[in-house]
Amino acid sequence: QVKLVESGGGSVQAGQSHRLSCEASGFTFSDYCMGWWRQVSGKERERVAIIGSGFSTKVEDSVKDRFTISRDNAKNTLILQMESLKPEDTAMYYCAAVKPIYCGERLQLWTDYGSWGQGTQVTVSS
């Protein structure tokens, strides 16, 4: 069965860097589109970055100059490198996997057809 486990969350100061990891198991990781999403309590989950099975990436404008998504297929691991963190980056961060055919930008596709981790909290203080 598909299992996604995020790690690396914590409390950091604004301006610092931080790295999140997502360890995947139970499926052929290299064949899947992977993504990082985040959610603040009371708000809709929002897309942070997506990386396709062919390593193409899509990073949201709000973080594109600061966040980098990457994948290590040999280790079945998804990475989110975050630089110059801001208080508004505070959120629960989720790793998700979906088959390439559903690798779109709409949350509904990921919700209906994807698999999700439990999330890891990132808190950025000013």
Look at residues 6, 9, 4, 29 and name the one whose alpha carbon lies nearest to residue 124.
9
Res 105: pLDDT = 83
Per-residue pLDDT tens over the stretch 65-92: 999 999 999 999 999 999 999 999 999 9
Residues 6+ apart with CB under 8 A from 101: none
Query: Which residues, given as ranges, of the chain have pLDDT below 70?
Result: none
